[in-house]
Structure 1
Amino acid sequence: MSGFKELVFSGMQPTGNLHLGNYLGALQRFIGLQDSYECIYCVVDQHSITAQLVHDDLAEQTRQIAAAYLAAGLDPKKSIIFNQARVPQHTELAWYFNCVARIGWMNRMTQFKDKAGKDRENASLGLLAYPSLMAADILVYRATHVPVGEDQKQHLELARDIAQKFNNDFSARIADLGYGVEMEVGEERVNGFFPVTEPLIGGAAPRVMSLRDGTKKMSKSDPSDLSRINLKDDADAIAKKIKKAKTDPEALPSEVEGLAGRPEAENLVGIYAALAEKSREEVISEFGGQQFSAFKPALAELAVAKLSPITSEMNRICEDREHVDAVLRDGGERAGAIAEGTMKMVREIIGFNTK
């Protein structure tokens, strides 16, 4: 994106156990991006209270996510790693964005409808405004790219809408203060303060499905622990869950097109491909025509080989709370310096008297 330094932002909530879907869909991508971009990775602890206000030990849950970041391969010397609550500029900018965004925009958010359910009047205001805070998380660093899955595309679209409305509403003041940056929006070249952040979509397995139902996404909140492989599962647990994974009675097809209409088969082949860093075509070439009784042990062996070192390292790091806190503290200081630089300009653009 012309005019802005390329910077990636992303984060995870400290709720429940991280699982294989989080690793393949997000963590694995985070690691690759830190060699190509300047990266900021956050544990979004303030987002975690939108649906559940009271947590047994939010601080410890935050440490566990940070430990998973480190165990998976994120390097605090290459990337900034911190938790959201250390940088109050996130919530300050979120309030300003609440005044930029329109209620109609928020009411259209699919995740709010899904999470609020039929009793929308009883949902927290925080849940409704969740996408505004997400926009602030990204734009307080003026991030140019965000790795997102399909379920977050709508939220990123909202962040882009908020950025463009802010840029338009304050265009004169941005120009007068000399804070405008030239960028491309569609086929136009415009000046604005906030970038119109681009999504980074893809990865080996951007959407990993439940082991019990191939039509549903693998989730921390699923009541069945057999539906997911947790990053803290040992080798026996991984093997057991893959053995019990739902499948259909047919053998694996000889062509990848034969996976259509077979969600559980497609999911397991996709997981194998992602873990082996192969295409689905290569996996089908190797296992096509075989029964799941032969494929599942191979998948279990591969999953254990890939995940066990991460699990061991995560457990080791979790025991060193001082080290984890030091990483988060250092990251928070570095992130806070960038965020405050943005907010000084934002306050001036809006017109607050802070002198």
Structure 2
Amino acid sequence: MGQHECDAFHGIVDLHALTVTDRPGVLGTSTLELAATLFAVGLDPEVATVFVQSHVPEHAQLGWVMECTVSYGELSRMTQFKDKSAKREADFVSAGLFTYPALQAADILLYDADEVPVGEDQRQHIEITRDIAMRFNGRFGDTFVVPKIVTPRAGAKVTDLQEPTAKMSKSSNTDAGIVYMLDEPAAILKKFKRAVTDSDGEVRFDRAEKPGVSNLIEILAACTSRSPQQVAAEYTQYGPLKADAGEAVVEILAPIQHRYHELMGDKAELSRLLRTGAEKARAVASATLERTYSNIGLLSPE
């Protein structure tokens, strides 16, 4: 469902970002940039609730309750923690990265979410959120809505154009396989032209056997509202597929980039929209936290 068919909550999770950065100026700027991006892609601040995580203290408060509900063993089995901590090797790995799924569970459960749209890489985190909610409800009575996982038909996992078995991510070793929202058209087309495929030359959708080609097919399918199978049937060569996928991304990003720059030109208005979003979010989150504390049996200050 879209933002006009349901109560949609969109959090900019700056507290989670503390697990990977400690540069204050960068974090604040990035928060505004992400807010501008969310509004630019079409979120309506009059309809959807868009807020900054740290502006709603109930997230951190419920996050601690979630940490006390999930087990060490469950957190240690999370593949994202294993992958990210392994990449950092000798670098500092914070405990926050380990307990990340507990705070993420709080992010979701605070808003009585019925559905959580999620990519394949985050499915395990939503599954543990469901487990935490059911465990808590079993111990303390009905408190949380157990959310359903909703995965889009196409684009659930966009992979790196240079390493198509890995998620497209800012943590990749090179920018060559990453398409950024604000990339210039020429840069986007160049990245798609150089996208890694394979040597057999057959265009077909098969994630296991043809990850590079399948990634291009899924991107083009998502941009043109078609199924991967429909897209694959239209091509016999990699070159045209790469070119059309790149052009489709350029076309879909053009109005978004224009709107983004308009929004970034008025940071005071952006901040106002985020304050309003935080007020709306707190109205829901505070009620959930109060219900949680009451069911646990914590002493009320009143």
Q: Structure 2 length normalisation: TM-score?
A: 0.93
- Indicate if the aligned counterparts of 1:149 and 1:207 stay in contact, CA closer than 8 A: yes
- Equivalent-residue separation in structure 2 for 1:156 and 1:340 (angstroms): 22
Corresponding residue of 1:157: 127
- Indicate if the aligned counterparts of 1:163 and 1:194 stay in contact, CA closer than 8 A: yes
Give the counterpart of 1:274 among 213, 222, 226.
222
- Equivalent-residue separation in structure 2 for 1:164 and 1:236 (angstroms): 49
The amino acid across from 1:280 in the alignment is P
Is 1:293 aligned to 2:239, yes or no?
Answer: yes
Corresponding residue of 2:143: 193
Q: Report the CA distance between 1:259 and its aligned residue.
A: 7.3
Q: Report the CA distance between 1:33 and its aligned residue.
A: 2.2
- Indicate if the aligned counterparts of 1:234 and 1:308 stay in contact, CA closer than 8 A: no
Give the counterpart of 1:114 among 83, 100, 103.
83
User: Cα RMSD over matched residues?
Assistant: 2.0
Corresponding residue of 2:294: 348
Give the counterpart of 2:109 among 131, 139, 145.
139
The 3 A distance-change label for structure 1 pair 86 and 259 is closer
Deviations 1:67-91 (A, max 9, x none): 1111101111111000100000010
> Relative contact order (alpha carbons < 8 A, sep ≥ 6): 1 or 2 greater?
1
Structure 1, unaligned runs of 5 or more: 1-31, 172-191
Listed as ranges, the matches of 1:225-304 within 5 Å are 225-253=175-203, 256=204, 261-287=209-235, 289=236, 291-304=237-250
Listed as ranges, the matches of 1:1-355 within 5 Å are 33-117=2-86, 123-171=93-141, 192-253=142-203, 256=204, 261-287=209-235, 289=236, 291-353=237-299, 354-355=301-302
- Indicate if the aligned counterparts of 2:161 and 2:195 stay in contact, CA closer than 8 A: yes
The amino acid across from 1:124 in the alignment is S
Structure 2, unaligned runs of 5 or more: none
- Indicate if the aligned counterparts of 2:189 and 2:247 stay in contact, CA closer than 8 A: yes
Secondary structure at 1:77 match in 2: coil
Q: Report the CA distance between 1:286 and its aligned residue.
A: 2.0
Deviations 1:30-72 (A, max 9, x none): xx52132211001000000123333442111001111111110
The amino acid across from 2:295 in the alignment is I
Secondary structure at 1:65 match in 2: helix
- Equivalent-residue separation in structure 1 for 2:227 and 2:28 (angstroms): 39
- Indicate if the aligned counterparts of 2:116 and 2:149 stay in contact, CA closer than 8 A: yes
- Indicate if the aligned counterparts of 2:63 and 2:103 stay in contact, CA closer than 8 A: yes
Secondary structure at 1:222 match in 2: coil
- Equivalent-residue separation in structure 2 for 1:100 and 1:120 (angstroms): 30
Q: Could you say which structure has the higher strand fraction?
A: 1
Q: Report the CA distance between 1:293 and its aligned residue.
A: 2.8
- Equivalent-residue separation in structure 1 for 2:38 and 2:185 (angstroms): 20
Query: Which deviates further from its counterpart, 96-105 or 128-137?
Result: 96-105
The amino acid across from 2:122 in the alignment is Q
Corresponding residue of 1:178: none
Q: Report the CA distance between 1:298 and its aligned residue.
A: 2.4
Deviations 1:316-352 (A, max 9, x none): 2122111211111000011011111112222222222
- Equivalent-residue separation in structure 1 for 2:180 and 2:205 (angstroms): 30
- Equivalent-residue separation in structure 2 for 1:167 and 1:120 (angstroms): 40
- Equivalent-residue separation in structure 1 for 2:72 and 2:15 (angstroms): 21
The amino acid across from 1:151 in the alignment is D
- Equivalent-residue separation in structure 1 for 2:153 and 2:38 (angstroms): 17
The amino acid across from 2:37 in the alignment is A
The amino acid across from 2:181 in the alignment is L
Deviations 1:175-197 (A, max 9, x none): xxxxxxxxxxxxxxxxx111111
- Equivalent-residue separation in structure 2 for 1:120 and 1:166 (angstroms): 36
Deviations 1:208-260 (A, max 9, x none): 1111122111111113111111100111111111112122344343xx46776
Q: Report the CA distance between 1:301 and its aligned residue.
A: 2.1
Q: Provide the aligned length of Structure 1 versus Structure 2.
A: 300
The amino acid across from 2:118 in the alignment is V
- Indicate if the aligned counterparts of 2:137 and 2:144 stay in contact, CA closer than 8 A: yes
- Indicate if the aligned counterparts of 2:52 and 2:274 stay in contact, CA closer than 8 A: yes
- Equivalent-residue separation in structure 2 for 1:101 and 1:84 (angstroms): 21
Secondary structure at 2:99 match in 1: helix
Query: Which deviates further from its counterpart, 109-118 or 39-48?
Result: 109-118
